[in-house]
Amino acid sequence: MKELLKSQNTGLSGVIEVPGDKSISHRSIMFGAIAHGETRIKNFLHADDCLRTLQIFRELGVDIQETADEIIINGYGFENLNIPNHALDVGNSGTTIRLLMGILAGQKNIVTLTGDDSIQNRPMNRVITPLQEMGLILAKENENGLPPITFRGTSQLKPISYKMPVASAQVKSALLFAALQATGTSRIVEKELTRDHTEQMIQQFGGNVIVQGKEITLTGPQKLSGTEIVVPGDISSAAFFIAAALLVPNSKITIKNVGLTNSRTGLIDVVKKMGGKISITDFDPVNQSGNLIVEHSQLKGITIEGEIIPRLIDEIPIIALLATQAQGQTIIRDAEELRVKETDRIEAVNLELTKLGAQITPLVDGLMIEGQTKLNGGIVKSYHDHRMGMMLQIAALLVGKETVNLENPEAISVSYPQFFADLATLLGQNNE
């Protein structure tokens, strides 16, 4: 149990840089491992999820060296991955397990992928079913599609033509990793546009992929070459400080070097629509990153639905908190994917923010939130979900003299181990 930080009248101020992007960090290890030659990664995210990916690729026999400011991988292609005798443990990371299935679909040996209690409740059939079409064979019956998953890949993967039933960058990426190893042309059609880091990185590593709207075409097999990756700051981590600055009076902050690729910036569009003061400066079109300046604002409720949802899917818990402080009602729809994240985030946001005084109606695929409600202190829990933990810490800044205590705050280290220290810096408080 942790007593959460409170805000004083001074608000948040100063300049901060958030840690590297989680999605790009995972993928830089994966691409570095399957490419040929040297890959150097700068600003890699040293947090639990990405460290699991790093550890697993070491267990697969990949040479990964760490220096003070870089990770250096010597890749020898897909064919030189060696499956160990033990199960590979992804911890809490959905990205690791799903993308890994696509990579290992091209390996002949049997492998078991497992993870923590949360992972053992997250659906994998969305990846298994299309990969089976490409040639993957389940080595153990698994009707419910929950990890542990034991399967055997094949060196003769077939290409796929697949219309995705869910909007998921993880499923799309797993299929692209398999398609890179298959002989022939694969065609994947997305339900909605989702984060496109995998497509961008295939090109950065010298591969070819054609993207036309929601349709992605890739002809395999392809041989990728190692490169240098500079990971930008994670907008999904910056989101918590963006919200804190918007909500706590007298705040004005600058968050430097945030990744701002279009498929990830739904939060910025939402904040603007809610009337929040946020601006981008020093945008670098090559790295697709820039600085964000955010200040305290009076917000108004809006409706968030449709194609924007995948562009802000991980930000919905913190957007829900913004909505509790906005004037009028906010409705979030088309976000049923929240039910299968680290926890059921619709349920968790509803229960925990309601404990603090929010007025929320959970919907099958979203949330209806009344504003503007005064929040009070209490004991809340993270459900071992990093984004829930960080959202509740920002809520704790709004309860005045009362105190909020958080159960299982350690979950936050999944994506942002220095979160409390960085927040304390912005608040002008010394972290104990």
Ligand X SMILES: O=C(O)C1=C[C@@H](OP(=O)(O)O)[C@@H](O)[C@H](O)C1
Chain contacts with ligand PEP (rule: CB under 6 A)? 93-95, 314, 341-342, 387, 415
Which residue has the closest beta carbon to ligand PEP? Answer: 94
Minimum separation from the CB atom of position 341 to ligand PEP (A): 4
Ramachandran area for residue 384 (φ above 0: left; ψ -120 to 50: alpha; else beta) = left
Catalytic residue among 48, 234, 314, 422: 314
Residue 116 annotated as catalytic: no
Of positions 11, 19, 23, 131, contacts ligand X by CB under 6 A: 23
- Segment 271 to 330, residues that bind ligand X, using CB under 6 A: 313-314
Amino acid making up residue 215 = E
Q: How far apart are CA 233 and CA 328, in angstroms?
A: 32
Confirm if 110 and 83 have CB atoms less than 8 A apart. Answer: yes
In this chain, which stretch among 1-9, 133-141, 165-173, 256-264 interacts with ligand X, using CB under 6 A? 165-173
* Those residues with Cβ within 8 angstroms of residue 387's Cβ, 6 or more apart along the chain or in another chain: 236, 314, 317, 318, 341, 342, 345, 415
In this chain, which stretch among 73-81, 166-174, 181-189, 283-291 interacts with ligand X, using CB under 6 A? 166-174
422: annotated binding-site residue?
no
Q: How far apart are CA 26 and CA 60, in angstroms?
A: 15
Of the candidates 302, 308, 408, 313, the one whose C-alpha atom is nearest the C-alpha of residue 352 is: 408
Report the side by side order of strands in the sheet with 149-152. 88-89, 110-114, 149-152, 137-138
Amino acid making up residue 272 = K
- Segment 168 to 227, residues that bind ligand X, using CB under 6 A: 168-170, 173, 195
Minimum separation from the CB atom of position 327 to ligand PEP (A): 28
Q: How far apart are CA 238 and CA 216, in angstroms?
A: 30
Minimum separation from the CB atom of position 403 to ligand PEP (A): 27
Please identify, using beta-carbon distances, which residue of 25 and 289 lies nearer to ligand PEP: 25
* Those residues with Cβ within 8 angstroms of residue 55's Cβ, 6 or more apart along the chain or in another chain: none
Please identify, using beta-carbon distances, which residue of 251 and 415 lies nearer to ligand X: 415
Q: Which residues bind ligand X (CB under 6 A)?
A: 23, 94-95, 168-170, 173, 195, 313-314, 337
* Binding-site annotation: residue ranges: 22-23, 27, 94, 122, 168, 170, 314, 341, 345, 387
Q: Which residues are catalytic?
A: 314
* Binding-site annotation: residue ranges for phosphoenolpyruvate: 22, 94, 122, 170, 345, 387
* Binding-site annotation: residue ranges for 3-phosphoshikimate: 22-23, 27, 168, 170, 314, 341
